[in-house]
Amino acid sequence: MVRPPCCTDANLKKGPWMPEEDEKLVDYISSNGHGNWKQLPKLAGLNRCGKSCRLRWTNYLRPDIKRGTFTDEEERVIINLHSVIGNKWSRIAAHLPGRTDNEIKNFWNTHIRKKLLQMGIDPNTHKPRTDLNHLMNLSQLVGTTQLGGNLFSPWSNILTLQADVSQLAKLQLLQNVIQMLSTTTLPSLDYSTLLGSRGVINGEKNLRTEGLEANIDSLLNATVNPFPSNDFQAVPHPSEGILDHESLNNSLTSTSYEKESLLPKLASTSASPESSTVNQMESNSEPLNHRNSSSDSSVFEAWEKILDDETDGSYWKDILDQLTSSSPSWPLGE
């Protein structure tokens, strides 16, 4: 069965809306509601297809639309939700009153995506970019002649530029983490444990008894702000795993709700007052910082220490800023 296009009438107007068209649409919906979108244009005296009217209304004319730049908080919410559910813009929009899916989608594509890339984070996976080309390019750009088979030597070259012992230690750690990320698969987040441990949704729902049809959006509310900092932060704690859609669904469809999480706690990556919410929730429950990999523990511990030291949450930004200033043509693009 092949559906005909929604708007087959070639005489219907397309393109930007005129103020008088907007006025007609608003007037009609204000007094009659939108009802059947297909009938609406005719009833409202508009030479547009219903779909176009619906889009204009929902994305622009609706009275509860919130316009203007996105706040840092909104940005964090978008990033965190995106890390969980991906490009589900309407679902993300449901968590941001007054924002439309289209607006969020545009904001993602024009701002956040670039920002993540500039920070060396893959906007699709929300993981640090570890592709070899990226690192090899970096190597070439800093003029190294001593790769010596060590794929991570670019970091060392940068270190010589910085000549900073503190940075050396941090970058050494970063190297270890990247190496680990590139050679091992991060454990999937046991979402049910996470939720249980956080006293999900103010105790309004007991997921363990209400079953797996649990309201995913409610779950998302509980994880919407894992990086409670005033600074932009998208780099996940290396030990917290990625809240990808698959693992979310796996957790939601798994029957092993009682299994112990393999993951360390969801680290608050700053010491900002806002982080107390997460910390409080964690303190009310079983600690999640159990580790089953002793070989990784030193890296994790060091990482946590660095994060603890980074009270302003700007560690990654600083590092990347320094890297980019050392190498003006740092390959930021894809």
Partner DNA sequence: AAATTCCGCAACCGCCAGATA
Partner DNA sequence: GTATCTGGCGGTTGCGGAATT
Longest dimension (CA), the chain: 74
- Give the integer Cα–Cα distance in Å for 246 and 249: 5
Closest to 182 in 3D by CA, of 220, 152, 214: 152
Q: Which is nearer to DNA, 56 or 198 (CB)?
A: 56
Query: Considering the rule CB under 7 A, would residue 317 count as an interface residue with DNA?
Result: no
Backbone angles phi, psi at 128, to 5 degrees: -60, 140
CB 127, CB 236: distance < 8 Å = yes
Report if residue 50 touches DNA, rule: CB under 7 A.
yes
Q: Closest distance between DNA and the C-beta of residue 192, in Å?
A: 24
Specify the residue, 1 or 165, whose C-beta has the smaller distance to DNA: 1
Instruction: Write out the binding residues for DNA, residues 57-86 only, by CB under 7 A.
Output: 58-60
Contact call for residue 115 and DNA (CB under 7 A): no
**Residue 208 touching DNA (CB under 7 A):** no
Judged by CB under 7 A, the residue of 32, 109, 150, 293 near DNA is 109
Whose Cβ is closer to DNA: residue 14's or residue 259's? Answer: 14
> Judged by CB under 7 A, which of 25, 74, 84, 107 binds DNA?
107
**Minimum CB separation from DNA for residue 52, in Å?**
4
Question: Which CB atom, from 101 or from 282, has the smaller least distance to DNA?
Answer: 101
Q: Is 101 in the site for DNA (CB under 7 A)?
A: yes
User: Roughly what angle, to the nearest 10 degrees, separates helices 245-253 and 72-85?
Assistant: 60
Q: Which stretch binds DNA (CB under 7 A): 51-59, 221-229, 269-277, 294-302?
A: 51-59
- From the list 24, 76, 82, 91, which residue makes contact with DNA (rule: CB under 7 A)? 91
Handedness of CA 66, 67, 72, 78 (dihedral sign): positive
Please pick, from the candidates 35, 259, 276, 277, the single residue that binds DNA as defined by CB under 7 A: 35
The DSSP symbol for 128 reads B
99 sits near DNA (criterion: CB under 7 A): no
CB 26 within 8 A of CB 46: no
Instruction: Tell me whether residue 88 or residue 317 sits nearer to DNA (CB atom).
Output: 88
Q: What are the contacts of 125-134 at 24+ separation with CB within 8 A?
A: 125/242, 125/244, 126/79, 126/82, 126/83, 126/234, 126/236, 126/242, 127/181, 127/186, 127/236, 127/242, 128/177, 128/178, 128/181, 128/235, 130/178, 130/181, 130/182, 134/331
For DNA, the binding residues in 162-201 under the rule CB under 7 A are: none
24 binds DNA (CB under 7 A): no
3 binds DNA (CB under 7 A): yes
Four-point Cα dihedral 89, 94, 99, 104, nearest 10: -20
Q: Compare residues 40 and 307 and give the one whose CB is closer to DNA.
A: 40
Shortest distance, position 140 Cβ to DNA, whole Å: 22
- Helix 216-223 vs helix 72-85: crossing angle, to nearest 10: 130
Interaction of residue 147 with DNA, rule CB under 7 A: no
Tokens of 82: 């995106």
Amino acid at 128: P
Among the listed ranges 30-38, 176-184, 185-193, 265-273, the one in contact with DNA (CB under 7 A) is: 30-38
Detail the DSSP E strand segments found in the chain.
Answer: none
List residues near DNA by CB under 7 A. Answer: 1, 3-7, 13-17, 35-38, 48, 50-52, 54-56, 58-60, 87-91, 101-103, 105-107, 109-111, 114
